[in-house]
Amino acid sequence: MVLLEVESLSKSFRGLRAVQNVSFEVPAGEIVGLIGPNGAGKTTIFNLIAGVYAPDSGSVLFQKRPIHALRPDQICAAGIGRTFQNVKPFAGLSVLDNVLVGAFLREKAPSAARALSLQILEKLGLGTKRDQLASSLTLPDRKRLEVARALATRPKLLLLDEVMAGLRPTECDQIVAVFRELNRAEGLTIVLIEHVMRAVMALAGRIVVLHHGEVIARGTPEEVVRDKAVLECYLGEETEV
Amino acid sequence: MIRGLLEGVPRRGLAMLAALLALLLAFPFFASGYLLAVGFLILYFAYVGQAWNIMMGFAGQLSLGHSLYVGLGAYAAAALYVHFGVSPWVGLGASIAVCAAAGAVIGFLAFRFGVGGVYFAILTIAFAEFARIGFDHFTWVRGSSGLFLPVANYTENDLWNLRGSPRMFYYLMLGLTAGAFVLCHALLRSRMGYYWLAIRESPEAAQALGVNLFRYKMVAVVVSAAMTSLAGVVFAFYYNNLFPEQIFHISRSIELILGPIIGGIGTLVGPLVGALLLTGLAEGMGELMLALGVDIPGVKQVFYGICLLLVVMFLPDGVWPPLARALRLDRKGKD
Ligand SMILES: Nc1ncnc2c1ncn2[C@@H]1O[C@H](COP(=O)(O)OP(=O)(O)O)[C@@H](O)[C@H]1O
Ligand SMILES: [Mg+2]
């Protein structure tokens, strides 16, 4: 079953064509990687899916239902969780309270929301930091907090925007293991934007490559890394392996 | 329910609250008439400060026009009493309804059309100013010549019609302030409270986590407006006269937000501490000047200014957060 369908999506910012005629599908239960050089339009695609921007043209279907006219909170309620590349923690709240806000979407009772939040914090290795103010976290921890908050909304589809940037290789492997486990055990579908190719190769079953707002290649990780166009414009120089 | 409210509150905090409440309850028995009036004012500002704090401190929406709700609340109950002899306990229903509606209109205009930050604050000022000018010509409530409540010589407190001694008003205000404190405490622990804080900290992130920004900002404005209206009702029956030029004046809006700012925006105890400091010290200054025979107009205003300046410079989070840490009452960024 296809969970998410992005069809001929386009978006310009004052004449700059950030996303042009992009189409791809995300089957339920899969992990899809979205890669490409900086400025390729990856984050903009997430913002279009998550309802931050309305597309100039094209459509987004989630579980066969068009969602591109919905607000971000409605899209979250429909089952799409997202993280922000430029992290947006609730700086004045504790780590636990940050996650609680997400948990309240499905768990209306404070005690149940708290239990869910603690469980997720534990999973992401933030358990011991739960009482710290979010503003006191390091950048990698803030990225983890982004993931924890999004997971607390119990999404069917999780959009991860460069959450592994800045992590050390061992930390990166840990979080990769968390995502793989969530995918395997709970059937969580994931789209991840990532520059850390090691993580993309480890997680993604399929990859979509963007350049100047357009899809220039797609396929399995093995196919994509051998693709000539991809090698030229992206993997050639910028890869962190 | 009660256990839920107490959960996680430090023992020392509870003990201090109980002591404070006992002190406030006993206060009228040893206070002079003048001190009782000061006590009333402190509680009044603590209450409206708490109400304003819901909008700004919790949900992050700056209102500089809260005199609108004090005025509308005061006029609604007072007019019903003067014209129809309606008890303020019934009239306050009208006050709440009018203020909730006014808050809803302002909130709708602002939040539907994406007016935020400074522009939202200006909108709130504009509405208070509309009311001030409008009520000057509103003859049913005697326009600019002022609405007076009949004052008879009373021998007993008539609680039903709120005709009585300053002591009665003091306890009434104490009840309201304590109620507002408990309500805000409960709100902060509820889903709604968390949503407000999330909106204050980052609207985009809140929305991405499923928070309906429009709905929760609307609720904050309406709850804050409705609470403020009750202060207006007490104000009307305590002072027995209402003038649009005074009650809706922008200086009244500013005055009522100073307490929570000085005390600590977004904290539960801040509005109380701020009201105590500002009112207590301003009155104390007045007394001191009197005793010293100095008669300079505007001393109170200058004092407010200096206090604000000092707090903004040295205690940017207000007086309460560092005080709470010193008393070891802080619970990680809240209360
Ligand atoms: N809100 C915006 N306003 C104007 N330009 C934007 C906005 N968001 C993104 N862009 C532009 O769109 C292009 C794609 O950006 P983005 O989607 O962030 O790329 P990526 O995430 O692939 O690095 C960039 O040129 C960027 O400057
Ligand atoms: Mg990006």
* pLDDT, tens digit, 9 for 90 and up, residues A60-74: 999 999 999 999 999
d(CA B221, CA B217): 6
Name the closest residue on chain B to residue A103, using Cα atoms.
B209
The domain segmentation of chain B, as residue ranges, is 11-18+32-334
pLDDT at A187 over 60: yes
- With the most atoms of ligand 1 within 8 angstroms of its CB, the residue from A6, A10, A13, A162 to mutate is A13
Residue A105 and residue B210: Cβ atoms within 8 Å?
A: yes
If one counts the domains in chain A, the total is 2
Q: Does A44 touch chain B (CB under 8 A)?
A: no
Pair A161, A190 in one domain: yes
Q: Does A101 touch chain B (CB under 8 A)?
A: yes
Token pair 């900002």 in the structure block, residue: B217
Mean pLDDT of chain B: 91
Pair A165, A231 in one domain: yes
Phi, psi of A66 (to 5 degrees): -65, 130
CATH of the domain at A37: 3.40.50.300
Q: Is residue A84 part of a domain?
A: no
Of the residues A154, A180, A197, which one is the last residue of a structural domain? A154
Pair A111, A229 in one domain: no
pLDDT at A230 over 90: no
Interface test with B, best of A48, A93, A96 (most B CBs within 10 A): A93
Pair A149, A167 in one domain: no
Pair A32, A149 in one domain: no
The pLDDT of residue B332: 42
Token pair 């935020």 in the structure block, residue: B116
Residue B205 and residue A88: Cβ atoms within 8 Å?
A: yes
The DSSP-derived string for A25-87 is: EEETT-EEEEE-STTSSHHHHHHHHTTSS--SEEEEEETTEE-TTS-HHHHHHHTEEE--SS-
- Summarize the confidence of residues B106-118 as an average pLDDT: 93
Q: Which of B208, B212, B266 sits opposite A82 (nearest CB)?
A: B208
Pair A159, A149 in one domain: no
Spell out which residues line ligand 1, taking CB within 6 angstroms: A 13, 16, 18, 36, 38-44
Of the residues A154, A187, A203, which one is the last residue of a structural domain? A154
- pTM for the complete prediction? 0.94
Which one, of B184, B205, B212, lies nearest residue B58 by Cα?
A: B184
Pair A6, A69 in one domain: yes
Pair A52, A69 in one domain: yes
The pLDDT of residue B308: 77
Domain of residue A30 covers: 2-79+155-235
Q: Is residue A240 part of a domain?
A: no
| Length of chain B counted residue by residue | 335
Q: B197 to chain A, minimum CA–CA distance in Å?
A: 8
- The model's confidence at residue B281, banded by pLDDT at 50, 70 and 90, is confident
- Of the listed ranges A84-93, A158-167, B89-98, B157-166, the least confidently predicted one is B157-166
Q: Which of B189, B201, B266 sits opposite A90 (nearest CB)?
A: B201
Q: Is residue A41 part of a domain?
A: yes
Q: Does A128 touch chain B (CB under 8 A)?
A: no
pLDDT in tens, B166-206: 999 999 999 999 999 999 999 999 999 999 999 999 999 99
- Respond yes or no on whether ipTM tops 0.90: yes
Residues of A in contact with B191 (CB under 8 A): 104, 108, 110, 113
Q: Is residue A150 part of a domain?
A: yes
Q: Is residue A57 part of a domain?
A: yes
- Summarize the confidence of residues A105-113 as an average pLDDT: 96
Cα separations (Å) of B169 from A37, B69, B164? 69, 20, 8
- Summarize the confidence of residues B282-300 as an average pLDDT: 78
Pair A183, A229 in one domain: yes
Pair A149, A173 in one domain: no
Pair A71, A183 in one domain: yes
pLDDT at B102 over 60: yes
Q: Is residue A104 part of a domain?
A: yes
Enumerate residues 67 to 86 of chain A having a beta carbon within 8 A of any beta carbon in chain B: 71-73, 76-77, 81-82, 84
| Burial (Cβ within 10 Å: 0-12, 13-18, ≥19) of residue A220 | exposed
Q: Is residue A241 part of a domain?
A: no
Q: Does B333 touch chain A (CB under 8 A)?
A: yes
Residue B333 and residue A93: Cβ atoms within 8 Å?
A: yes
Q: Is residue A54 part of a domain?
A: yes
d(CA B308, CA A43): 43
pLDDT at A175 over 50: yes
Name the closest residue on chain B to residue A102, using Cα atoms.
B209
Starting from the CA of residue A38, give the closest ligand. Answer: 1
Q: Does B191 touch chain A (CB under 8 A)?
A: yes
Token pair 């994931």 in the structure block, residue: A190
pLDDT at A106 over 90: yes
Mean pLDDT of chain A: 94
Residue whose CA is at the smallest distance from ligand 1 atom 8: A44
Interface test with A, best of B209, B215, B217, B332 (most A CBs within 10 A): B209
Structure-block tokens of residue A94: 């504790």
- The model's confidence at residue B328, banded by pLDDT at 50, 70 and 90, is confident
The percent of residues above 70 in pLDDT, for chain A, comes to 97
Token pair 């326009």 in the structure block, residue: B143
Angle formed by the axes of helices B33-53 and B213-239, nearest 10°: 160
pLDDT at B335 over 70: no
Side by side, which strands form the sheet with A65-66? A16-27, A2-13, A57-62, A65-66
CA of residue A165 to ligand 2 center, whole Å: 11
Q: How many CB pairs under 8 A join A and B?
A: 84
Residue whose CA is at the smallest distance from ligand 1 atom 11: A18
